[in-house]
Amino acid sequence: MRVAVMASGRGSNFDALHRSSLDPVNPAEIVVVVSDQPGAPVLEKARRFTVPVEVIDPGTRRGAWSQAGVGAALDALRRHRVEAICLAGFMRVLPSEIVGAFPNAILNIHPSLLPAFPGLRAQRQALRAGVKVTGCTVHLVDEGVDTGPILVQRTVPVEPGDTEDTLANRILEQEHRAYPEALRALAEGRVTVEGTSVTLAPTLT
Ligand code: GRF
């Protein structure tokens, strides 16, 4: 399965997805990294692994995309014959044209146990709420923000004295396990979606 990673920043999840895709039994192949940030460290990481990169200009600083921006993104995805997309710290909501072009084939990772703490600074939201357990979620992307059927969740404890950073790092370790696991299940055709419920069939190996 030909996969695009869309990312705006650091790229540690790209790194984890790419490493796992190098396993010859994993049918997921990262064929392009698409970013809206020309200076994003993820692009440097991709180049180091000789993964092609595409920088797109959504055309507006925030929120809605311009028509040209949508066209450029779709064009890049088509040129690389992309079949599935992993959002990995991509700081924009995808427009309906892109979501509609990849039904049940766009994944996102979020640093909380959704539906708790959607949106920005999920770790800070968790600390403020005083929860004792949080984690990460990989879900299919619909047109909402951090909504969509859930594929994989992993939990971490919130420790006394945690800061946003210490908690984020603990969650990130689990993100790097959950995301490759979810993508591989998708690529192996083990994902069944019924309404808001997703079933992952057991791995064959
Ligand atoms: C991760 O915490 C992810 O859950 C969120 O954005 C962050 C991206 O980190 N959506 P990285 O760029 O993959 O290191």
pLDDT number for residue 203: 82
CA distance 188 to 84: 12
> Which residue's CA is the closest to the ligand 1 atom numbered 8?
89
**Nearest residue CA, atom 9 of ligand 1?**
89
Q: How many CB atoms lie within 10 A of CB 132?
A: 9
pLDDT at 64: 82
- Strand-pair category, 29-35 with 2-6: parallel
Q: Which of 18, 80, 110, 139 is catalytic?
A: 110
> Splitting the chain (205 residues) into consecutive groups of 10 residues, what average pLDDT does each group show?
98 98 96 97 98 94 87 97 98 94 97 97 98 98 92 98 98 98 97 95 79
The amino acid occupying position 111 is P
Instruction: Give the predicted TM-score (pTM) of the model.
Output: 0.96
DSSP string, 23-70: STT---EEEEEEES-TT-HHHHHHHHTT--EEE---SSSSSSPPHHHH
Domains of the chain: 2-191 (3.40.50.170)
User: Which numbered atom of ligand 1 lies nearest the CA of 42?
Assistant: 12
Our answer to whether residue 139 is catalytic in this structure is: no
Taking the centre of ligand 1 as the mean of its atom positions, its distance from the CA of residue 13, in whole angstroms, is 6
